Amino acid sequence: MGNAKDSRPVYSTEQGRLCPECRRPVESCACSAARPAKAPAGPGVRIQRQTKGRKGKGVCLVTGLPLDQAGLESLAKKLKQRLGTGGSVKDGVIEIQGDHREALLQELKALGHTAKLSGG
């Protein structure tokens, strides 16, 4: 553990997130323009299976797709037809009924998305 000299505020209730270097609000940070942009940490598209709150029925959730609502609806329709199952789009997440994680992974990769299985 560091001492009090090493601690820096990263959040202020008045200003929001603060830059760790210049301690200004992130929106008006002077040093962030000089810093190179970070590459994404990994694939944003995640596929996971979930049964919680569904009376034991499993669904696959596809999250992190960089699409608007209409794009999500269209992709969900393609995936449901390809897998022969039902599903829906809720809050920017595609829900596909049943355990189709591997098939979803292959379909999304075929469509050009960088996807990854998530969860156990």
Kindly state whether residues 110 and 68 are assigned to the same domain. yes
Hey, how many other C-beta atoms are within 10 angstroms of the C-beta on 72? 17
CA 22 from centroid of its chain's CA atoms: 29
Look at residue 2 and tell me if it is in a domain.
no
Q: Return the structure tokens found at 77.
A: 């329709």
Kindly state whether residues 79 and 24 are assigned to the same domain. no
User: Could you tell me if 100 and 117 are in contact, meaning their C-beta atoms sit under 8 angstroms apart?
Assistant: no
CATH number at residue 89: 3.30.780.10
Residue 16 belongs to domain spanning? 10-37
Look at residue 5 and tell me if it is in a domain.
no
Look at residue 3 and tell me if it is in a domain.
no
Look at residue 79 and tell me if it is in a domain.
yes
pLDDT given at position 9? 62
Residue whose tokens read 């210049």: 22
SS3 62: strand
State the pTM of this model. Answer: 0.62
Kindly state whether residues 112 and 65 are assigned to the same domain. yes
SS3 20: coil
d(CA 54, CA 33): 46
- Tens of pLDDT, residues 44-88: 789 999 888 778 888 999 998 888 889 899 999 999 999 999 999
